[in-house]
């Protein structure tokens, strides 16, 4: 340990310190305590980040990360003696194979690649994250989801990571697991994603297409075996119109399937990532929802005359016409006509200009009593109202003029 301390003090820059840490890792010499070991890993990660930022500022290409030695081949089990029980022999073989095929050793940093809901809801702790992509894979809405965004009778759709062409890319985010909890988190993920194949892929960034920024990122991929992929819920190729129709109508214990789609599309747009598959489906679903909203208002009475008028002030007219918001009782000036709840009414300005038309949630007498009142006051005056307090015409039930 004294040699390491003196060598560390002799380092002149961050690059030398990083190289010293790498040599220490290869030597496998233990540090005095577990806390010191964790501190060394955190310091190495921070030094790598500082060195990467300095390299980018100088306009240099990042160095090629050292390749990890390939995983050991599974050892051949010795021939079992006649006295050895078969169950014990099978258990020994499984543990030996699991140990041999473990790509990540105890001292390695473990990263998990997220491409779906894990992007905004990880469900585990992580130290840092990096946005990047993996090569040769694509993200597709080919997973039949009957647990979260659908039911067994009407399953929704979620994304899967599938094998693609060599020039395909799938953008996502890699999460670095804490050293102390990495084994536990990885074991939990293995159980949760047991239907998928666990692979270690290289993560690339925006700066370089040739040099990975992180090697051996853990990714859970759709199995290549047809039987296993079908068991995992893989639906196969489907037209995007069919996928959009399923997503628009599916709903499960975790909510609407549409929310999952919009959340994923929003994350990709926020990070400047273009995914034609997700974007195309999101556009189709959005157009379908807009068409359904218009038909919901005008169905069965496309040319029916308004049964009354709701006069609103200039502020409400601005919010409804330009911002696309619902009409609230606080913006109502007066009510013309006698109509009941659910009637088709016209929304006009004080000057008499037509603004919108839609179905009112309040009857004329109730709306006169609530005109100019805030939503909290509306809830007190009409506590038995079944709809949202203070909302006269919802955005979904209104068509702009």
Q: What are phi and psi of 252, to 5 degrees?
A: -140, -170
Q: What are phi and psi of 363, to 5 degrees?
A: -75, 165
Among this protein's residues, is 193 annotated catalytic? yes
DSSP H helices in 257-381? 257-270, 276-298, 314-323, 364-370, 375-381
Least Cα distance to 48 among 9, 25, 26, 15 occurs for 15
CA–CA separation, 75 and 109 (whole Å) = 26
Least Cα distance to 336 among 308, 371, 366 occurs for 308
Least Cα distance to 144 among 152, 156, 159 occurs for 156
Q: What are phi and psi of 302, to 5 degrees?
A: -65, -30
Least Cα distance to 310 among 362, 258, 346, 361 occurs for 346
**Active-site residue, from 52, 89, 127, 193:** 193
8 Å CB contact between 33 and 3: no
DSSP of 29-60, one letter per residue? Answer: PPPSSHHHHHHHHHHHHHHHHHHHHHHHHHTP
What residues have CB less than 8 Å from 90, skipping those under 6 apart?
none
CA–CA separation, 395 and 401 (whole Å) = 13
DSSP H helices in 101-181? none
8 Å CB contact between 286 and 276: no
User: Which are the catalytic amino acids?
Assistant: 193
């Amino acid at each position: 340990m004294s040699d390491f301390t003196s060598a560390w003090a002799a380092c002149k820059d961050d690059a030398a310190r990083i190289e010293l840490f790498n040599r220490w890792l290869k030597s496998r010499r233990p540090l005095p305590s577990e806390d010191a070991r964790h501190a060394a890993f955190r310091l190495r990660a921070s030094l790598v980040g500082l060195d990467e930022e300095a390299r980018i500022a100088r306009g240099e290409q990042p160095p090629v990360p050292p390749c990890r030695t390939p995983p050991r081949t599974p050892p051949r089990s010795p021939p079992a003696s006649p006295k050895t029980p078969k169950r014990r022999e099978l258990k020994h073989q499984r543990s030996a194979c699991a140990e041999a095929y473990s790509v990540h050793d105890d001292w390695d940093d473990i990263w998990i690649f997220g491409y779906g809901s894990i992007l905004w809801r990880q469900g585990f702790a992580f130290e840092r994250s990096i946005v990047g992509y993996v090569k040769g894979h694509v993200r597709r809405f080919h997973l039949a989801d009957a647990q979260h965004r659908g039911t067994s009778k009407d399953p929704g759709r979620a994304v899967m990571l599938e094998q693609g062409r060599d020039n395909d890319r799938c953008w996502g985010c890699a999460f670095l697991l804490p050293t102390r909890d990495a084994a536990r988190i990885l074991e939990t993920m293995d159980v949760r994603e047991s239907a998928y194949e666990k692979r270690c892929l290289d993560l690339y960034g925006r700066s370089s297409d040739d040099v990975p920024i992180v090697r051996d990122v853990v990714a859970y991929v759709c199995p290549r075996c047809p039987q296993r992929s079908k068991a995992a819920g893989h639906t196969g190729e489907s037209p995007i119109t069919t996928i959009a129709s399923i997503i628009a109508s599916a709903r499960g214990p975790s909510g609407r399937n549409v929310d999952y789609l919009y959340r994923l599309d929003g994350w990709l747009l926020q990070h400047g990532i273009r995914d034609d598959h997700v974007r195309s489906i999101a556009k189709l679903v959005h157009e379908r929802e807009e068409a359904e909203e218009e038909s919901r208002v005008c169905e069965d009475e496309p040319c029916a005359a308004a049964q009354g008028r709701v006069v609103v002030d200039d502020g409400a007219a601005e919010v409804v016409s330009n911002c696309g918001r619902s009409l609230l009782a606080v913006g109502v000036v007066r009510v013309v006509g006698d109509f009941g709840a659910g009637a088709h009414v016209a929304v006009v300005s004080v000057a008499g200009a037509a603004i919108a038309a839609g179905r009112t949630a309040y009857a004329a007498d109730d709306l006169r009593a609530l005109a100019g009142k805030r939503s909290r006051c509306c809830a007190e005056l009409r506590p038995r109202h079944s709809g949202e307090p203070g909302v006269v015409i919802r955005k979904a039930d209104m068509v702009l003029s």
